[in-house]
Copies of this chain bind each other. A is one copy, B any other.
Amino acid sequence: MNSPIIEQLIKIFSRFPTVGPRTASRFVFYLIQKPKEEVEELIKTIENLKKEIKNCSFCFNPFEGEGDLCQICSDKTRNQTLLCLVEKETDLIALEKTRKYKGRYFILGGAISALKQDELKKLRTKDLEERLKNNLEIKEIIIAVNPTTEGEATALYLERMLKPLNIKSTRLARGLPLGGELEYADEETLSQALENRK
């Protein structure tokens, strides 16, 4: 009953992360009601994005500017012996916001739920191996995946992959989050908080 154009745009928006067909429809009707200039601004900005933004040739972090390396990777004052593996771009941003990490990053491009070949293809493991071979100064790898089932599977796979390279690998600490209450913590988190007490 919707027009073909509306249906097509709903289909495209449904492929966006976290978006289902219902939210996609709301996006389409939102755009229909928006003034022409605002929609043109959206289009112009997406066009600029695709024109000006490139992936860093080391860490895959998207950036705007000269050269092949992003601002983080081209900053020689950062600790070159540390490499932090994250699932996606927003995880890198979250870690940068802490201002506590001064090494480099590598964006894996996702997490895996199983050690199947087509699942593994989602991760940039070949690129990671190549970076490690060409950057022998890297002494520690922080596997900063999400504390989820997929994150766990990814971390286990990476640890196995890194073992023969003899590089120290670490994981983010698990425990109670700030403001969290014991009585609402899940058993796994509480167990880990107890185990890693200090």
On A, residues with C-beta under 8 Å from B are 1-6, 8-9, 12, 16-18, 22-23, 25-33, 36, 39, 41-43, 45-50, 52-53, 55, 62-65, 71, 88-90, 93, 96, 109
Check A29–B62 contact: CB distance below 8 A.
yes
A47 closest partner in B (C-beta): B43
A72 closest partner in B (C-beta): B1
Check A53–B32 contact: CB distance below 8 A.
yes
Residues of B within 8 A of A1 (CB): 71, 93, 96
Check A31–B3 contact: CB distance below 8 A.
no
- Distance (whole angstroms) from the CB of A119 to the closest CB of chain B: 17
A90 closest partner in B (C-beta): B25
5 A-B residue contacts at CB 8 Å? A5-B53, A9-B45, A12-B42, A17-B30, A42-B46
Check A17–B26 contact: CB distance below 8 A.
yes
- Distance (whole angstroms) from the CB of A7 to the closest CB of chain B: 10
Check B96–A5 contact: CB distance below 8 A.
no
Check A3–B63 contact: CB distance below 8 A.
yes
Check A89–B29 contact: CB distance below 8 A.
yes
Check A18–B9 contact: CB distance below 8 A.
no
Residues of B within 8 A of A6 (CB): 49, 53, 62, 64
Complex: how many Å from CA A62 to CA B29? 8
Complex: how many Å from CA A123 to CA B150? 45
Are A36 and B12 also in contact (CB < 8 A) when A2-B93, A29-B62, A30-B17 are?
no
